[in-house]
A = this chain, B = another copy of it.
Amino acid sequence: MANAPVTTKKDWATDQEVRWCPGCGDYSILTAVQLMMPELDVRREDTVFISGIGCAARFPYYMNTYGMHSIHGRSPAFSTGLAMARPDLDVWVIGGDGDMLSIGGNHLIHALRRNVNVNILLFNNMIYGLTKGQYSPTSEVGKVTKSSPYGSIDQPFNAVSLALGAEASFVARTHDMDRKHMQETFKRAHAHKGASLVEVYQNCNVFNDGQFDTITKRANRPANLIDLIHGEPIRFGVDNERGVIIDSSGNAVIVDVADVGEDALVVHDEYREDPAVSFALSRIAANPYSPTPMGVFRSVDRIEYAAGATSQLAAAQEAKGPGDLHALLRSNPTWEVD
């Protein structure tokens, strides 16, 4: 896929009218992706976007690549088949929190543990958009929606924790208000050989407006966005005055740097084999209303699924030679009648 022809954003956009509500966070994610693609040195022809159903899942229609708008919840399964059959392709998977974590939760966690080489962008708006506003598996407890008029009673998933519990080799989080951060995160996901999960906090301005304002609004970011930067102590705050330590009982907690000293802070290490610390970091924020880590939580090398499958094929061919149908039919005892 190297040395792809030079392209611009326009080359990556289709002629189809974008059908999201005006103001929807999906627009900025689309723009970020369309602007990023020309920088990846990949051909549109070798790129496939696969989605399920939902507002987010309309994404493939707007990318001038190959694409499939499949059925609700199953995009990780479609993309697993495609990525196994065609390891030469660049496969992106797009879906919402309902699509990927509710009906599609199982396919997602299995794709992650298998480490299939797909880049999964989970647009988490903490609501069902397309079906007009029911609570989702990431909605906060007490959320009043059409299907929960008395407030939802479901403990939400934390997508990052769930992915780490499911053996994900690459897990990251970004948000729709920061194009640069999105692009960097998506590029990292793309560079990762294996399954990458990127949770994108995305504003649904019709059914869940402002859900992420506390952390993603420019003014609030210094106080409430915790940038995870590999090799750096984890610090944030308006005056960079706060930080994260692993406390004596083993939990990741926010502290005043002045109280503990910079040396006590966790130095972020994306490449730790053991996901425990990444998991601890994912627990810092129970919801997007308090300081929340953004960036790459984990990025470790593990054999990629299609590569594993392909090498077994190659080994079998090496050992047995290419398939010989005539011989196959005669591989059990035979006899002659004349």
Q: A249-B269, A276-B251, A279-B279 are in contact. Are A302 and B155 (CB under 8 A)?
A: yes
- What is the minimal beta-carbon distance from A149 to any residue of chain B, in angstroms? 9
Shortest A77–chain B CB gap in Å is 12
Residue on B nearest A107 in the bound complex, by CB: B106
Closest to A302 in B: B155
> Contact at B166–A162, with CB atoms within 8 Å?
yes
Q: Does A305 contact B (CB under 8 A)?
A: yes
What residue in chain B is nearest A276 (Cβ atoms)? B280
| Cα(A252)–Cα(B110), bound, Å | 25
Contact B277 A157 (CB under 8 A): no
A193 at the interface (CB under 8 A from B): no
Would you call A157 and B113 a contact (CB within 8 A)? yes
Q: Considering only CB atoms, which chain B residue lies closest to A308 in the complex?
A: B153
Are A105 and B109 closer than 8 Å at their CB atoms? yes
Q: Does A287 interact with chain B (Cβ within 8 Å)?
A: no
> If A105-B105, A246-B250 touch, does A279 touch B150 (CB 8 Å cutoff)?
no
A155 touches B276 (CB 8 A): no
Q: Decide: B315 and A150 in contact? CB cutoff 8 A.
A: yes
Chain B proximity of A287: nearest CB distance (Å): 13
Which chain B residues border A154 with CB–CB below 8 Å? 113-114, 305
Q: Which of B103, B115, B157, B315 contacts A155 (CB 8 A)?
A: B115
* A324 CB–B CB distance under 8 Å: no
- Docked complex: A81-122 residues within 8 A CB-CB of B: 102-106, 109-110, 113-115
Known: A150-B312, A249-B269, A283-B275. Contact between A155 and B167, CB under 8 A?
A: yes
Q: Residues of B contacting A105 with CB < 8 Å?
A: 105-106, 109-110
- The oligomer's copy count stands at 2
For chain A, the count of residues having a C-beta within 8 Å of the partner chain is 49
Known: A161-B165, A165-B161, A250-B250. A153 touches B312 (CB 8 A): yes
Query: Which single residue of chain B is at the shortest CB-CB distance from A319?
Result: B150
Cross-chain contact A277 with B249 (CB below 8 angstroms): yes
The answer to whether the Cβ of A274 comes within 8 Å of any Cβ in the partner chain is: yes
Smallest CB-CB separation from A104: which chain B residue?
B106
CA distance A154 to B312 in the complex (A): 13
Within 8 Å by CB of A165, from B249, B251, B279, B315, lies B279
CA distance in complex: A163, B162 (Å): 8
A331 shortest CB reach to chain B, Å? 14
Counting CB contacts under 8 A, is A303 at the interface? yes
Other A-B contacts than A113-B156, A165-B279, A251-B272, 8 sampled, CB-CB below 8 A, are A109-B157, A109-B162, A153-B312, A246-B250, A250-B250, A250-B276, A251-B277, A252-B276
Chain A residues with a Cβ under 8 A of chain B:
102-106, 109-110, 113-115, 137, 150-151, 153-158, 161-167, 246, 249-252, 266, 269, 272, 274-277, 279-280, 283, 302-303, 305, 308-309, 312, 315-316
CB-defined A-B contacts under 8 Å, sample of 16: A102-B110, A110-B137, A113-B155, A113-B157, A114-B155, A153-B312, A155-B167, A161-B275, A164-B165, A164-B279, A165-B279, A246-B250, A249-B272, A250-B280, A276-B279, A279-B279
